[in-house]
């Protein structure tokens, strides 16, 4: 194939990247690798020929490099941070210290080891709902404690709160995300 | 099959359990002999002791019924009804209302304007999270109501239908029983025995669904099926890319 720049323009474009072709030349038992550079059909690079000596005929399976592949595979679950119960990590994350039985209720962490407190902002300017989910045990007791805590903190504001037992959640009218999280962390959840 | 002198204790320490209950425990039974229990197994609370969400179970049942539905109801529109090409009477002079065709929707026997058209599908997909919570809620409800039985395997001594019927009667397993194994190639004897019995069905674990679990009174899982279920459900409940996987296309349009 000619390599003049004029004919290069009319050469069909090979979509495959730089490839190596293994060819047997004669009966000498040598293997020759010929590189075909296919960058947009223009071959500025010379055709290189590499000869592989016969001693490299055997193929060996190596598992020494598997660790480099393994570290790229994404984890199946978010790993639990290594912190003692109740410890405050430098990022601000607090490890849970409460154990079921401490209180009549229990609020476990989510799959990402965070508190299950969420704020929903409906598409109306002032409609916020704070919800505490995954509440187990006596949800009404936790509801009353939350109501008391928030009423004291935001007095004289009236706190509207609803305990939805079948869905294991407490809904509070308003945006009290940080205060509710503070309260739960103080309890050790 | 099993050495009945040694009880089968399948105790698993669950790492991801974040519940009040560390694990639920259940008896392991056998279909082979008449002995009631051969051992004990611990069940993961996130799968088997979840507070059942009735609304999610209902959503799942409705979805399972609707997504396969193809309505064949069909009506003809005005151009499809036979006849009606000619103007019935002249536009002016007769004293009657003006009409251009006897098959207009105004006429008796005319076409239907907005009627059903054949092969209307009600296909939609429920979000992944809703389907998973449907499974966990139903399994927990079945377990709490004592309708979930765990068996070490589906190996049976005899291939007579009478054998399995009598076994279910003695153990007070409900009229309809669903046997679930982790393979889809079931043992010979149980396949032959339940072949003629319409209310006793075999199912691989990948076919487990809310509708079937509610349709059959008793759900019988093998130990292999229980572990496979736990592994898959817990993977989905704890996976980091759940929001991405939950973005199911074809959601229900209200």
- Check CB contact under 8 Å for B237 and A111: yes
Residue A8 distance to chain B (closest CA, Å): 46
Dihedral through CA A41, CA A46, CA A51, CA A56, nearest 10? Answer: -50
CA angle B168–B151–B137, rounded 5-degree value: 90
Task: Encode B83-108: b = buried (16+ Cβ within 10 Å), e = exposed.
Answer: ebeeeeeeeeeeeeeeeebbbeeeee
CA nearest to B19 within chain A: A108
CA nearest to A101 within chain B: B20
CA nearest to B56 within chain A: A167
d(C-alpha A134, C-alpha B19), whole Å: 9
- Check CB contact under 8 Å for B51 and A166: yes
Write out the two tokens for B189.
Answer: 């004897």
Per-residue pLDDT tens over the stretch A136-146: 999 999 999 99
B128-144 and B223-238 are packed helices; what angle lies between their axes, rounded to 10 degrees? Answer: 140
Residue A45 is predicted with a pLDDT of: 65
ipTM passes above 0.85 = no
Residue B32 is predicted with a pLDDT of: 86
| Average pLDDT, rounded, for chain A | 82
- Check CB contact under 8 Å for A111 and B51: no
Residue by residue, pLDDT tens for chain B (254 residues) are: 455 556 678 777 777 667 777 789 999 999 987 777 789 999 999 999 999 999 999 999 999 999 999 999 999 999 999 999 999 999 999 999 999 999 999 999 999 999 999 899 999 999 999 999 999 999 999 999 999 999 999 999 999 999 999 999 999 998 999 999 999 999 999 999 999 999 999 999 999 999 999 999 999 999 999 999 999 999 999 999 999 999 888 888 77
B11 Rama sector, left if φ>0, alpha if ψ -120 to 50, beta otherwise: beta
* A75 chain-B contacts, CB cut-off 8 A: 240
Matching residue, tokens 């187990």: A136
d(C-alpha A9, C-alpha A2), whole Å: 12
CATH 3.40.50.880 for the A105-187 domain, yes or no: no
Strand A49-52 to A31-36 pairing: antiparallel
Where in chain A do CATH 3.30.780.10 domains reside?
105-187
* B238 chain-A contacts, CB cut-off 8 A: 76-78, 111
* B237 chain-A contacts, CB cut-off 8 A: 111
* Per-residue pLDDT at A32 exceeds 80: no
Domains of chain B: 21-67+124-237 (3.40.1370.10), 70-121 (no CATH)
Task: Encode B28-45: b = buried (16+ Cβ within 10 Å), e = exposed.
Answer: bbbbbeeeeebbebbbbb
CB-closest option in A75, A136, A167 to B240? A75
- Helix, strand, or coil here: B43? strand
User: Chain A residues with CB-CB distance to B under 8 A?
Assistant: 74-78, 100, 106, 108-109, 111-112, 136-137, 166-168
- Check CB contact under 8 Å for B235 and A106: no
Residue B99 is predicted with a pLDDT of: 95
Residue A8 is predicted with a pLDDT of: 46
- Check CB contact under 8 Å for B239 and A76: yes
Average pLDDT over residues A116-129: 94
Residue A10 is predicted with a pLDDT of: 52
- Check CB contact under 8 Å for A78 and B237: no
**Cβ of B23 under 8 Å from any chain A Cβ?**
no
Residue A20 is predicted with a pLDDT of: 47
- Asked if residue A142 lies in contact with residue A170, where contact means CB atoms within 8 angstroms, the answer is yes
CA nearest to B15 within chain A: A80
**pLDDT band per the 50, 70, 90 thresholds, residue A53:** confident
């Amino acid at each position: 194939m000619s390599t003049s720049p004029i004919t290069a323009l009319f050469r069909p474009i090979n979509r495959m990247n730089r490839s190596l072709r293994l060819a047997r030349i004669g009966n000498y038992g040598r293997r020759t690798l010929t590189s075909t550079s296919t960058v947009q059909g223009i071959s500025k690079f010379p055709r290189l020929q590499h000869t592989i000596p016969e001693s490299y005929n055997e193929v060996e399976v190596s598992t020494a490099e598997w660790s480099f592949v393994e570290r790229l595979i994404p984890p199946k679950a978010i790993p639990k941070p290594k912190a003692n119960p109740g410890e405050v990590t430098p990022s601000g994350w607090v490890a849970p210290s409460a154990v079921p039985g401490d209180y009549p209720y229990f609020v476990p962490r989510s799959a990402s080891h965070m508190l299950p407190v969420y704020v929903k902002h409906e598409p109306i300017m002032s409609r916020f709902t704070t919800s505490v989910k995954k509440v187990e045990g006596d949800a009404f007791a936790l509801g009353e404690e939350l109501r008391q805590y928030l009423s004291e903190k935001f007095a004289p504001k009236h706190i509207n709160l609803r305990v939805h037992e079948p869905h294991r959640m407490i809904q509070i009218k308003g945006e009290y995300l940080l205060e509710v999280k503070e309260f739960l962390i103080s309890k050790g959840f | 099959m099993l050495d009945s002198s040694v009880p089968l204790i399948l105790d698993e320490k669950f790492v991801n359990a974040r519940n009040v209950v560390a694990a639920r425990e259940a008896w392991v039974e056998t279909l082979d002999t008449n002995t009631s229990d051969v051992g004990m197994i611990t069940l993961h609370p996130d799968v088997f002791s979840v507070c059942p969400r009735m609304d999610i179970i209902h959503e799942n049942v409705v979805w399972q019924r609707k997504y396969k539905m193809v309505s064949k109801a069909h009506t003809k529109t005005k151009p499809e009804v036979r006849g009606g090409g000619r103007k019935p009477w002249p536009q002016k002079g007769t004293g009657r209302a003006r009409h251009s065709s006897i098959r207009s929707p105004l006429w008796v026997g005319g076409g239907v304007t907005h009627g059903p058209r054949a092969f209307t599908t009600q296909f939609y997909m429920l979000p992944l999270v809703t389907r998973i919570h449907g499974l966990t809620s139903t399994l927990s409800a079945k377990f709490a109501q004592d309708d979930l039985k765990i068996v070490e395997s589906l190996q049976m001594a005899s291939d007579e239908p009478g054998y399995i019927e009598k076994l279910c009667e003695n153990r007070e397993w409900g009229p309809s029983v669903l046997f679930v194994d982790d393979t889809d190639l079931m043992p010979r004897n149980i396949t032959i025995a339940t072949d003629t019995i319409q209310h006793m069905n075999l199912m691989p674990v990948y076919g487990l669904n809310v509708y079937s679990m509610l349709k059959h009174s008793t759900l019988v899982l093998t130990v292999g099926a229980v572990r496979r279920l736990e592994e898959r459900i817990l993977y989905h409940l704890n996976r980091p890319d759940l929001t991405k996987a939950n973005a199911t296309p074809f959601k229900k349009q209200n």
